[in-house]
Amino acid sequence: MARAYRRTGAGNGDDVLDLYEYAYLAGGERRVVESAIISLVEHGTLSLRAARLRTIGAELPQHPVERAVIAACPRSKRVREVFEALGHCDEVDELARRLVLLGLVGNWRRRTTRAGRRRLAAAVAEGSLPPYVLEGPARLDPGPVQYGLFEAAPDGLGRTLRRMGKALDNESDHHAHAHAEGGFSCGGGGGGD
């Protein structure tokens, strides 16, 4: 089953933008990758469980960004690793270059220009964009997709932080019991004649 991409023609100008170009205007490179992952999961091409992506569909997507996401996770890969791999991939950079040429994104810092914000506002008013394109995974229903996209923290970090917290608690308990008689010391005598 082939999917056709609907291009929306919101805003002024003859150039129509696709879903991922609007995602770039709304949230930059990360929003493009988030939107591609969400779209592929919704269409059954990817599976997202326990912050890991796995290709389950045999169909190759038509959009270059979606093909890059599929290529980034041939078997099973952590979502964080997919974001790292696609942060500055050629497909997303090409999308950004097109937006720069259209004057919708600034060339140097790649921030949305006033014209880009107007174009995005026109698409929002038209109602042609899915909510996750504008606001990311926060607009998804709670579940494995939202959890997987928000779970981009390094593995094992929670355990390390707990150990650090216990070490600090033990250290503070040690000092608290050392002066159990209630004496406080803020230094020593200044000496003098």
CA–chain centroid gap for 29, Å, is: 8
Q: Is residue 120 one of the residues assigned to a domain?
A: yes
Q: Does the residue 2 lie in any domain?
A: no
55 lies in which domain range?
19-150
Ordered mean pLDDT values, 10 residues apiece, the chain (193 residues)? 40 73 91 89 84 81 90 85 85 92 86 91 89 78 66 53 62 52 59 61
65 close to 20: Cβ distance less than 8 angstroms: yes
Among 16, 38, 12, which residue's Cα sits nearest to residue 27? 38
In-domain check, residue 51 = yes
What's the pTM? 0.68
138 found inside a domain: yes
pLDDT given for residue 21 in this prediction: 93
Residue 1 is predicted with a pLDDT of 37
| Predicted pLDDT at 174 | 52
Q: Measured between alpha carbons, how far is residue 66 from residues 27, 41, 127 in Å?
A: 17, 11, 23
Residue 55 lies inside a defined structural domain of this protein: yes
Asked if residue 156 is part of any domain, the answer here is no
Counting every residue written for the chain, the total comes to 193
Q: 111 in a domain, yes or no? A: yes
- Let me know: does 116 contact 105? Beta carbons within 8 Å: yes
Closest CA to 143 of 42, 61, 45: 42
Q: Report the domain count for the chain.
A: 1
Q: In this structure, is residue 62 part of a structural domain?
A: yes
User: Which of 21, 18, 15, 22 lies closest to 7 in space, CA to CA?
Assistant: 18
Q: Say if residues 31 and 25 touch (Cβ distance below 8 Å).
A: no
Rounded CA separation 140/92 (Å): 23
